[in-house]
Amino acid sequence: MIVIGPPGCGKGTQSANIVKKYGLTHISTGDILREEVELHTAIGEIVKKFLDRGYLVPDDIVMREIFETAIKQKCDKGLLFDGFPRTLFQADYLDDIMYHRNEKINLVIHLNVEEEELFQRIVHRSEDAKKRSDDNEETVRNRLQVYYQKTFPLLEYYKKKHKLVTISGMAPIQGVFNAISSIIDDYINKS
Ligand code: ADP
């Protein structure tokens, strides 16, 4: 499955809850990219400037260096993609890979949160001791703009394939997770 939504919508938190409950393997391209930066790898040096400015890391780097390695992980019960795909190119590429593996995307959960709330959450998060280098106001504006430009079209893409379920991410964490769980349970019961 895929979890999709703007920065600050709670993708990371909810994805962690989902993988714990359903035993999926968690693939967060954002986490992997941040780790590369922290470890000062060759890729990390390249991607840092994109991350810090709130731009997407170019598709070829994400697919070749990040995704191809991540997808080789053990995944008996399935994979959960968090923050991936983020462009139509990545979505097409993922479909291709799934097709060749004789697998498919079952469910795409879209977490919808109002813009004002996103800002408040990220500003709050930036007061954290382990703050992210991309959680400052200017970069957040960029990240939101990039989301609406590049990632938003994926909602239509997955809607057409009848895989998209939109959930309000405005409620407290547990409330949102309950809503997500019932969507997943429904899906499992129907299939
Ligand atoms: P958020 O969505 O809250 O910004 P993420 O951890 O998902 O947090 O992503 C952080 C940053 O990592 C993004 O702003 C982008 O620069 C980069 N990134 C993550 N995933 C991708 C991806 N699939 N393609 C391109 N860039 C990505």
DSSP, residue by residue, the chain:
-EEE--TTSSHHHHHHHHHHHH-PEEEEHHHHHHHHHHTT-HHHHHHHHHHHHTPPPPHHHIIIIIIHHHTTS--TT-EEEES---SHHHHHHHHHHHHHTT-----EEEEE--HHHHHHHHHHHTTSTT--TT-SHHHHHHHHHHIIIIITHHHHHHHHTT-EEEEE--S-HHHHHHHHHHHHHHHHHH-
**Average pLDDT in the chain:** 94
Quick check: CB of 86 below 6 Å from ligand 1?
Answer: yes
Ligand 1 atom nearest 85 alpha carbon: 23
pLDDT digits (tens, 9 = 90+) for 66-120: 988 888 888 889 999 999 999 999 999 999 999 999 999 999 999 999 999 998 8
Residue among 87, 78, 86 nearest 107 (CA): 78
Measured in Å, residue 140 CA sits from the centre of ligand 1 at 12
Residue among 155, 180, 154 nearest 169 (CA): 180
pLDDT digits (tens, 9 = 90+) for 12-33: 999 999 999 999 999 999 999 9
Query: What percent of the chain is modeled with pLDDT above 90?
Result: 80
Res. 135 pLDDT band, cuts 50 70 90: confident
Measured in Å, residue 49 CA sits from the centre of ligand 1 at 12
Measured in Å, residue 189 CA sits from the centre of ligand 1 at 32
